[in-house]
Chains A and B, each alone.
Chain A
Amino acid sequence: QVQLQESGPGLVKPSETLSLTCNVSGGSISSGGYYWSWIRQHPGKGLEWIGYIYYSGNTYYNPSLKSRVTISEDTSKNQFSLKMKSVTAADTAVYYCARENEGIDYWGQGTLVTVSS
Chain B
Amino acid sequence: QTVVTQEPSLTVSPGGTVTLTCASSTGAVTTAYYPNWFQQKPGQAPRALIYSTSNKHSWTPARFSGSLLGGKAALTLSGVQPEDEADYYCLLFYRGARVFGGGTKLTVL
Contacts and interface: CB of A to CB of B under 8 A. Distances in A.
Interface residues of A, number: 22
Contact of A102 (B38, B52, B100): B52
A96 B40 CA distance: 13
Main secondary structure of the interface of B (DSSP, over half): strand
Q: Is the interface of A mostly helix, strand, loop or mixed?
A: strand
Given A60-B96, A64-B1, A102-B55, A49 B91 contact: yes
A77 to B, nearest CB: 22
Contacts of A110: 45
B51 A102 contact: yes
A4 to B, nearest CB: 9
A109 B103 CA distance: 19
Contacts of B99: 49
A78 interface: no
A103 interface: yes
Interface in A60-117: 60, 62-64, 96, 101-110
Contact of A49 (B48, B51, B97, B102): B97
Interface in B36-77: 36, 38, 40, 45-48, 50-52, 55, 57
B10 to A, nearest CB: 16
B100 A47 contact: yes
B46 A103 contact: no
8 contacts: A46-B89, A102-B34, A102-B51, A103-B48, A104-B98, A105-B48, A105-B57, A106-B48
Which 9 A-B pairs rank lowest in CB-CB distance, beginning with the nearest?
A103-B51, A60-B96, A47-B100, A49-B98, A103-B36, A46-B103, A107-B45, A46-B102, A105-B48
